[in-house]
Amino acid sequence: MSDYVVRQITDAESRATFELLVRSLHGNPPSDERWARVAESWTADGRTGAFHDGEAIGIASSFATKLTVPGGGTVAMAAVDGVGVRADWTRRGVLTAMMDRQLHDFVQRGHVVAALHASEALIYGRFGYGVATRMATLQVRQPAPLRETVVAPGRVRLLSTDEAIATIPSLYQRIDTGRPGRIARPELWWPIAFNWHLHADGGNHRVAVHSGPDGDDGFAVFHVVPQNSYLDPERGAALEVRELHAASPEALAGLWRFLLSVDLIEVVNVRGRPVDDPVGLLLVDPRRAHTVGLDDELWLRLIDVQAALAARAYGSAEPVVLEVNDRMLPDNRGRYRVSSSGVERTEADADLQLDVDTLAMLYLGAWEAGPLALSGRITGASAETLARVDALFRTATQPWTGTHF
Ligand SMILES: CC(C)(COP(=O)(O)OP(=O)(O)OC[C@H]1O[C@@H](n2cnc3c(N)ncnc32)[C@H](O)[C@@H]1OP(=O)(O)O)[C@@H](O)C(=O)NCCC(=O)NCCS
């Protein structure tokens, strides 16, 4: 029997578990001021803790939101926003016990999927999470003017921190292009993940809003990092973009034009862009823009495979029968017949076998079936079956989340 218990935390344990999380990620203990900013968001609901003699030794936290799936529908999602085990308790099964409890809790709460951002890629596959969106890191070297034919008639204005905190939440809600992988940002997300950064580092983040013919339709959050030195006093700074969201191609081009026009900047760096960001195509000289990284973004866990598969749209192709294996949530095990008109459980022979983490990789359209088969994640499929899977699951735009939690 283990010498710790795993259970939902109480409100009285909120600050201790938040501190545990911050310390496990090697941050300083949160000051009273920082705690005051996050306390409202760090409620006990949805947070699983591990305790030894009443003391917190592990935390697996989540909040409820919605995920946009191919076709533009949404599913109920648990966003796992903080996982940590105290350093003197690691590798003794604490995370495994918390994940097990958390997944069953998600079933009870009716979440169709769960998702997280992983600090390391080795941790979450064993719990059924697969990489369902990927993100590009882009670097644009100045000068990088836009081509004359780019249509971007809108205007950009800078907001004060207070204006940004008051207006960006509703603007984000309005900017919804239906791209798979987007998540809704609930009220409790903003103080921890947005307002906090605007106040951090002496408040050097700037917020730019784009307005088109129908009003505000995009925003960017960025800050500038000096690169000059004693020996290189004239060197231009780096402009680092934290967020970039736009409702239309014109708004996106307008925001790129603004970010690339700020004076005294040598390079614009952006982490976490969709892999189909068109910035290189907007430029007179496309070689000014480089993709310098391609990383996993959202790790997705299908909690209710049937409901998740039924919620998304499919391309047109002959149906395919998937045999899904799920080690931790056995109700998901079985065969699913996926066709352009929907999904049903079936006893028919399977066209292929895959684990639930691999199904999550296909689910939003980030991966093609071929590489998944080549890497042994999909088994038993002919080349013709793989082509059918792609025709059914492929999406017109690359999935992307663009929200860190
Ligand atoms: C990552 C972390 C949560 C793992 O917790 P833990 O209680 O040590 O995990 P468990 O003991 O349940 O390990 C389960 C399995 O995952 C493996 N594992 C756990 N963390 C791992 C890591 N960082 N790298 C590789 N494997 C890891 C274990 O070896 C074990 O494998 P096994 O079942 O084959 O023996 C913990 O080390 C931690 O808090 N790290 C610092 C904070 C952090 O990275 N949090 C994650 C943020 S997304």
Per-residue pLDDT of the chain (405 residues; tens, 9 = 90+): 689 999 999 999 999 999 999 999 999 999 998 899 889 889 899 999 999 999 999 999 999 999 999 999 999 999 999 999 999 999 999 999 999 999 999 999 999 999 999 999 999 999 999 999 999 999 999 999 999 999 889 999 999 999 999 999 999 999 999 999 999 999 999 988 998 888 877 778 999 999 999 999 999 999 999 999 999 999 999 999 999 999 999 999 999 999 999 999 999 999 999 999 999 999 999 999 999 999 999 999 999 999 999 999 999 999 999 999 999 999 999 999 999 999 999 999 999 999 999 999 999 999 999 999 999 999 999 999 999 999 999 999 999 999 999
DSSP code of residue 264: T
Tokens representing 306? Answer: 């049937």
Distance from the alpha carbon of residue 121 to the mean position of ligand 1, in angstroms: 11
Please give the structure tokens belonging to residue 366: 């980030």
- Closest to 80 (Cα-Cα) out of 174, 176, 10, 183: 183
| Residue 257 in marked binding region | no
Structure tokens at 57: 């030794």
Find the 240 Cα to ligand 1 centroid distance in Å.
Answer: 31
Which residues does 301 contact at the CB level (< 8 Å), separation at least 6?
A: 103, 113, 114, 115, 124, 127, 128, 129, 130, 356, 357, 360
As given in the structure block, the two tokens for residue 273 are 């862009």
Q: Whose CA is nearest to atom 17 of ligand 1?
A: 123
Q: What is the Cα 376 distance to its own chain's centre?
A: 26
Contact 304, 77 (CB under 8 A): no
Which CATH code fits 5-111?
A: 3.40.630.30
Burial class (CB in 10 A: 0-12, 13-18, 19+), 269: middle
Q: Whose CA is nearest to atom 18 of ligand 1?
A: 123
Ligand 1 center–CA 197 separation, angstroms: 28
Residue ranges of the alpha helices (H) in 74-201? 94-109, 161-174, 189-190, 196-199
Residue the block writes with tokens 């480089």: 290
Ligand 1 pocket: which of 3, 23, 123 to mutate (most atoms <8 Å of CB)?
123
Marked catalytic residue, from 4, 18, 124, 219: 124
Question: CATH code for 136-295?
Answer: 3.40.630.30
Do the two domains 136-295 and 304-393 of this chain adopt the same fold? no
Least Cα distance to 355 among 318, 382, 387, 328 occurs for 328
Using CA of residue 358, residue 360, residue 361, residue 363, what is the dihedral sign? positive
Is residue 101 helix, strand or coil?
helix
Known catalytic membership, residue 172: no
For residue 36, give the nearest of 61, 14, 9 by alpha carbon: 14
Amino acid at 115: A
Residue spans of the domains in the chain: they are 5-111, 136-295, 304-393
Q: How far is the CA of 84 from the centre of ligand 1 (A)?
A: 9
Catalytic residue, from 4, 172, 219, 405: name it.
Answer: 405
Q: Please, which residues bridge with residue 344 across strands?
A: 337
Fold of 304-393: Nonspecific Lipid-transfer Protein; Chain A (3.30.1050)
Positive or negative torsion for Cα 110, 125, 116, 31:
positive
